[in-house]
Amino acid sequence: MTVDAPIRPAQSFDDATTPARRRGGGPRESVMSRTAAMVIMGAFTLYFLVPIFWLLVSSTKTLDNFNSSAALWFSPTSAQDFVGNVGRLFTYNDGIFPRWMLNSIVYATVAGALGTILSAMCGYALAKYRFWGREALFNIFLGGVLVPATALALPLFLIFSKVELTDTFWAVFLPSIVSPFGVYLSRIYAASSVPDEIVEAARIDGSSELRTFFTVAIRLMSPALVTVFLFQFVAIWNNFFLPLVMLRSQELFPVTLGLYTWNSNVSQYPELRTLVLVGALVSIVPLLVAFLSLQRFWRSGLGSGGLK
């Protein structure tokens, strides 16, 4: 993986569907291969979407009609049951669930945003300045990409317990800021999207290096930084092992760990089953919306990840 390879020109996914791209001459595809393609994709659409649909339907069931009504369709009382379920979800145990959602949002957005800025600064410096030890430093950071997060969680716990910071907000927040992958992506983006001439011109105009970065470079890098942020946001939102190891107090849990603990108590408290399912649905809705609406930003990140 050579990092300095030029990034390929941005290309929209939707180009593939425009007539200009693929409707040149050549024979038409046979009806059979068209049908086969549609059947394959149709079948797998069911595979990918039915579980999510089932979750949606289940969240409209009460404990009583969970088993008695059709599992994959709504019951006559679905609308009011759904409202009731959500109401109980948000009030159960003094509103611990909204607290978990809020925690997840804070961990993921604040640590993600902070991490993105630090990664952008570091990646920019690695791309735009020549200095002794630059490549060595970059390779160390790149090595960090291959270090599994789970391998870090346990020693981090031991270190945090020395300074008595386990079971605090900081125990999950601070390690989440560091994203070596973000530095890797930022360096590629800075190299390809911030021309040296612009940096030089800013210097001639008397702008300081920092000011050049925060007013000029960061704007040129901004589409890419959204990608870096998305990657880190998802990584933090999905991180389960670190909070599992670090946290004991329920009010610090992210939503994943909270639902996990609820689900482990389902056999003693059956009413939790409905709450787990409604909670699961509520917890993925913001992510689904963010994902699908920001999907074009994945393109550039995933595309540049594929550089050889």
Partner 1 sequence: MTQTAAEPAVVAPPSPRPTRPRKPFRYRKAIAIFIVPFAALFAAFYLTPILYAVFQSLQKVEREGTFGAPTQVFGGLSQYALVFQNTEFWSSIGRVLLFGVVQVPVMLLLALLFALLLDSPLLRGKRFFRLAFFAPYAVPGVIAAIMWGYLYSPSLSPFSAVTSRAGLLDGGTVLWAVANVVTWVFVGYNMLIIYSSLLAIPTEIYEAARLDGASQWRIAVAIKIPLVVPAIVLTAVFSVIGTLQLLTEPLVFRQFTSTISSTFTPNMLVYSTSSVPNFNLAAAFSVVLAVATFILSIGFLRLTQRKADQ
Q: Is 63 in the site for partner 1 (CB under 8 A)?
A: no
| Residues between 101 and 140 that touch partner 1 (CB under 8 A) | 118-119, 121-122, 124-126, 129-132, 137
Site track for partner 1 across 70-99, x = CB under 8 A: -xx---------------------------
Question: What number of CA atoms fall less than 13 Å from residue 150's CA on the CB side?
Answer: 3
Mapped onto helix, strand or coil, the DSSP state of residue 148 is: coil
Q: Which residue has the tokens 């702008």?
A: 207
- Helices 295-305 and 180-193: crossing angle, nearest 10°? 90
Q: Which residue has the tokens 């992506």?
A: 185
Q: How far is the CB of 89 from partner 1 (least distance, A)?
A: 14
Q: How far is the CB of 256 from partner 1 (least distance, A)?
A: 4
Mapped onto helix, strand or coil, the DSSP state of residue 235 is: helix
CA distance 147 to 30: 48
Q: Which residue has the tokens 């002794």?
A: 132
Q: Is 227 in the site for partner 1 (CB under 8 A)?
A: no
Q: How far is the CB of 270 from partner 1 (least distance, A)?
A: 11
Q: Is 24 in the site for partner 1 (CB under 8 A)?
A: yes
H helix intervals, 134-250: 134-146, 149-162, 169-177, 180-193, 196-204, 209-211, 218-220, 222-238, 241-246
Residue of 91, 208, 215, 250 interacting with partner 1 (CB under 8 A): 208
Residue of 2, 6, 41, 136 interacting with partner 1 (CB under 8 A): 41
Q: Is 40 in the site for partner 1 (CB under 8 A)?
A: yes
Nearer to partner 1, 119 or 192 (CB): 119
Residue of 80, 91, 93, 238 interacting with partner 1 (CB under 8 A): 238
CA distance 25 to 41: 26
Q: Is 45 in the site for partner 1 (CB under 8 A)?
A: yes
Mark the segment that binds partner 1 (CB under 8 A) among 46-54, 77-85, 92-100, 221-229: 46-54
